[in-house]
Amino acid sequence: MSRAGFAVSLWALVLIGFAIVSAPASADVFTVRGVAVDVTAETAAAARDRALVAGRRDARDRLFARLTPRDESRRLPRPEGAGLEALIASFEVANEKTSPVRYLAELTFHFDRQAVRDLLRRAGVPFAETRRRPSLVLPIYRLAGAASLWDEPNPWRQAWAGLADPDSLAPLVLPAGDLTDIATIGAEQALAANADRLDAIARRYGTANVLLAIADLRMDPARGLPVIDLRARWFGDAATERVLIDGVAAESREDISPALAAAAAKVADWVVESWKRDNLLRFDREGEMMLSVPLAGLEDWLDIRSRLAQVAVIRSGALLEISRDEARLALRYIGDDAQLRVALAQRALRLSRGPTDWVLRRAPATGG
């Protein structure tokens, strides 16, 4: 690009500087997919109408469960009719089938972010919108002193299969367990917190962190039944000091799969609920920040601006100036600096202290 062309592009960006944060952040968080409906009524039209009502209710409940801590469920509003329809921006229908009296379909609902926000705030229900970057789960099963990760059978790993929810605010990824995984890390290396191996397996799946989920099977002498001792901890960029220590008692000596499934669900629930609690939107606190953004060119700036537009805690922003190698921004955000830093990290943006201003950079890419 010529110097003149570059200058023209820069002026165009300055003119639309306020659009940095104007896009609806976390729009995918407010989309509920895979709402299955199957309704029978007097006619196909009546069945369809009832199916849409049921689908809207199901989508509403799933969205509120996604955004709010579980212990707030009793205070959740339950809008119906026109009140519920006002929360929905649009919906899509797939796999539609009808008969003279039956209607089947799979629905997707796109909720209006601001309308949902306003409703929950009026109800006084705290909620989160920031979606965590996916985490890789390494399920390690210990029995009689032997630790298994990739070995078969590993009923603990099987308990995690199908548990991952890609629409969760804290999605989890289960590794394939193929030959490359086996060569990358073993159970003992994971238990020893071998940083190189943990980093390698995280890079393979493009995740920023690893969740080590350990299930120890032992016998409870008092009941004569198995007990699963649970321990979960984090490694990686988004690692925290939080550790889960819990347990699940089995009801049968012959089949412990229900207990293992309950244990896996307990760990996954702990991950999601902890994340939501740590990232509740705090509308009672607001901060301002001046920051500089080192740039390698216009494409670099456009990419960073796009990522900023998806950060839920940012309320508004202004592009103050821009040159070939740097932009200066002013941001207004909900919550405190630490919450902003976490939210930016989920969009692969790293905030750090510079000599005078805060500095925002793209985080190094993880491998795939």
pLDDT average, residue stretch 54-81:
95
How many whole angstroms separate alpha carbon 129 and alpha carbon 312? 6
pLDDT average, residue stretch 180-191:
96
If residue 319 lies in a helix (H) or strand (E), which one and from where to where? strand 314-322
Q: Note the Cα 265 to chain centre separation in Å.
A: 16
How many whole angstroms separate alpha carbon 339 and alpha carbon 286? 11
How many whole angstroms separate alpha carbon 236 and alpha carbon 86? 41
Q: In this predicted structure, what is the pLDDT of residue 152?
A: 83
Q: In this predicted structure, what is the pLDDT of residue 254?
A: 83
Q: In this predicted structure, what is the pLDDT of residue 2?
A: 46
Q: What are phi and psi of 134, to 5 degrees?
A: -55, 145
Give the pLDDT confidence of 223-258 residue by residue, as tens digits. 889 999 999 999 986 556 678 899 899 888 888 999
How many whole angstroms separate alpha carbon 226 and alpha carbon 262? 14
C-alpha separations of 100 from 18, 36, 54, 62 in Å:
53, 19, 19, 30
If residue 141 lies in a helix (H) or strand (E), which one and from where to where? strand 135-143
- Average pLDDT of the chain? 87
In the chain, the amino acid numbered 84 is L
Q: In this predicted structure, what is the pLDDT of residue 347?
A: 87
322: which strand partners? 327
The residues near 93 (Cβ < 8 Å, ≥ 6 apart) are: 105, 106, 107
CB 226 within 8 A of CB 217: yes
Q: In this predicted structure, what is the pLDDT of residue 366?
A: 55
User: Considering the domain 3-25+282-362 in this protein, what is its CATH number?
Assistant: 3.30.70
Give the pLDDT confidence of 5-53 residue by residue, as tens digits. 444 444 344 434 434 444 444 558 999 999 999 999 999 999 999 999 9
Residue that wins the pLDDT comparison between 323 and 89: 89
pLDDT at 133 over 70: yes
Cα angle at 171 between 21 and 284, to 5 degrees? 45
Q: Which of 105, 135, 117 is nearest to 30 (CA)?
A: 117
Q: Which of 15, 6, 9, 18 is nearest to 316 (CA)?
A: 18
Pairing mode, strands 358-362 and 88-98: unpaired
Beta sheet of 358-362, edge-to-edge order: 314-322, 326-334, 286-294, 358-362, 349-353
pLDDT average, residue stretch 275-287:
89
pLDDT band at 97 (very low <50, low <70, confident <90, very high): very high
Give the pLDDT confidence of 332-358 residue by residue, as tens digits. 998 888 889 888 988 889 998 888 889
Domain 135-278 has CATH 1.10.3470: no
Residue that wins the pLDDT comparison between 41 and 297: 41
